[in-house]
Amino acid sequence: MSTLAQGTIVVRPRRIGATTATLLAGAVALAVGFALPLLLPSKIAMSLFAQALFDALLATSVGFLFLQNGRISFGQAAFSGLGGYAFGILVARGLVGSEIALLIALLLPTLVAFLLGLVIARVSGVAHAMLTLAVGQAFYEVAFRWRELAKGDDGMSFDLPRRIFGLSSRGLQDPAFMVVLAWCLLVVVLVGLALFARSRIGMVTAAIRDNEERARFLGYSTTLPRALVYALAAFIAAIAGILQASYNGYIAPQMFHWTVSGYALIMAILGGAKFIIGPAVGAVVLFYVKELAGQVAEYWPAIVGGALVLVTLTMPQGIIGILRLLWLRRPPQ
């Protein structure tokens, strides 16, 4: 608990078959994904779950930054928003083909995060939290004020191009298709992150997170790997933003707002930010709690804030941490 910002995860020696196991779990999860339209009872249920998955991707991005970098971000919505805006604006103006638009929408936030990471990565702890909040809000301000960009405050609707990668793009606004797509992307991202954590560069970033000075002493450049983690996290956030924008056919400055970043961070902590899968679980749980809390939605921020205080103080390992504890303590059979 006392080392919340410096991860306490011990990098275990490579087990034989760990990679295989991860890939296998991923394959099973993908198979489940294709069955989702059959498992969920209605279009509404699919639509809700798809939106929960968008949240899960953004929360995973925040969690990854914490897990691999030890940095808590209050501004991750900057990158999901940037992805969504880049895609929406390029498509709406027909400046480039839809495939190129998608590519730009993925790479622009990644590049921006990498460059920002070179600056921000040098700042740690509390100052870092303040900085990310401020930087994230800068993006919001631009999207809010710059009316020529995408109608400023009002937000902008756009029509999807008819075909993307030779396929009809109508699926992007169909809950049954979107829920499968979002699930599969989330699975691929989670598997990718698990493999990253075991890779050489993943080990280096974990070493830098745990003791930057020692890593530097061992001869590693520390700023570059940190910036790389920022870029990867932003890439994941961009996926979330693009999915959300194309599903809704709408972009608005609210996508950048600090509350979006803040909630993503809370989801990550609630689910267990020390586990790769934790933030995604937290996001889905929080999303459905919000749906259930329909009548008291007015007091929603206070409920989330209270949950954050409670979780931080009493169960910092989050939902996954508690489940793991229960699993380890299970009575012998």
Supply the minimum distance, in Å, between the C-beta of residue 141 and other proteins.
4
Joined tokens for residue 81: 């928003």
- Cβ proximity to other proteins: between 95 and 119 the closer is 119
Amino acid at 76: Q
The CA-atom distances, in angstroms, between 310 and each of 81, 90, 146, 326 are 29, 43, 39, 19
Q: Does 159 bind other proteins (CB under 8 A)?
A: no
- Cβ proximity to other proteins: between 94 and 125 the closer is 125
**Beta carbons within 10 angstroms of residue 283's beta carbon:** 30
Find the length of the chain: 333
Q: Does 285 bind other proteins (CB under 8 A)?
A: no
Torsion of CA 182, 320, 109, 123, to 10 degrees: 180
Beta bridge partners of 250: 157
Q: Which of 31, 35, 119, 167 binds other proteins (CB under 8 A)?
A: 119
Q: Which of 89, 131, 184, 187 binds other proteins (CB under 8 A)?
A: 131
DSSP 186-222: HHHHHHHHHHHHHSHHHHHHHHHHH-HHHHHHTT--S
Residues 245-274 that bind other proteins (CB under 8 A): 258, 262, 265, 269
Residue 196's Cβ-count burial label (10 Å; 0-12, 13-18, 19+) is middle
Supply the minimum distance, in Å, between the C-beta of residue 130 and other proteins.
4
Q: Does 227 bind other proteins (CB under 8 A)?
A: no
- Cβ proximity to other proteins: between 28 and 302 the closer is 302
Q: Does 123 bind other proteins (CB under 8 A)?
A: yes
- Cβ proximity to other proteins: between 50 and 112 the closer is 112
- Cβ proximity to other proteins: between 134 and 218 the closer is 134
Q: Give the C-alpha separation, 89 to 126, whole Å.
A: 35
- Cβ proximity to other proteins: between 177 and 258 the closer is 258
Residues 64-103 that bind other proteins (CB under 8 A): 72, 74
The contacts of residue 23 (CB under 8 Å, 6+ apart) are 191
Q: Does 170 bind other proteins (CB under 8 A)?
A: no
Q: Give the C-alpha separation, 43 to 225, whole Å.
A: 43
The binding site for other proteins (CB under 8 A) comprises: 1-6, 72, 74, 116, 119-120, 122-127, 129-131, 133-135, 137-138, 141-142, 144-146, 258, 262, 265, 269, 298-302, 304-309, 312-313, 316
